[in-house]
Amino acid sequence: MPDTVALVAHDPETRAHLSGYLAEAGFRVRDPADASQAVWVIEKDQNLDAVASEIVPWLGAHEARHAVIITWRPTTMRVAIGMVEARLSILIAPVFPWQLVDALRQREGEP
């Protein structure tokens, strides 16, 4: 059975492209409330503190949750998230879709 992943991306084209790629790779793309993994695509102009204020509570709602973050500013994002770094994979934009799938599958293989 495919794993469920949430995709949070403000750009509709990015969201459509990554949703299709994730579905082809065997993932079901769902609402963040229904997923144990989420992908956040952060645009260059987005406020990182605002994004962190979405990610931290989502991760905190269940200890098995994991987030993959695609950002142009990884160091700043790590500082904004802080406490949950062990449950994060941060990829530096731009990212090939297969890199995203690898990050999601790597987490699946952990105990």
Q: CATH code at 37?
A: 3.40.50.2300
Q: Say what the pLDDT of residue 111 is.
A: 43
Q: Say what the pLDDT of residue 107 is.
A: 67
The number of folded domains in the chain is 1
Number of H helices, E strands in the chain: 4, 5
Please check whether residue 86 is in contact with residue 64, taking contact to mean a CB–CB distance below 8 angstroms. Answer: no
**What would the two tokens of residue 106 be?**
């790597």
List the one residue out of 94, 92, 68, 93 whose CA is nearest residue 81: 68
Reported residue count of the chain is 111
Q: Say what the pLDDT of residue 110 is.
A: 53
Q: Say what the pLDDT of residue 2 is.
A: 55
Q: Say what the pLDDT of residue 32 is.
A: 86
The pTM (predicted TM-score) of the whole model is 0.89
pLDDT along the chain (111 residues), means of 10: 84 94 94 90 92 91 92 89 80 93 78 43
Distance CA 99, CA 88 (A): 15
Angle between helices 74-81 and 48-60 (to 10 degrees): 50
Please check whether residue 67 is in contact with residue 107, taking contact to mean a CB–CB distance below 8 angstroms. Answer: no
List the one residue out of 19, 96, 81, 13 whose CA is nearest residue 50: 81
Q: Say what the pLDDT of residue 29 is.
A: 94
Distance CA 102, CA 107 (A): 9
Domain residues for the domain of 65 are: 4-108
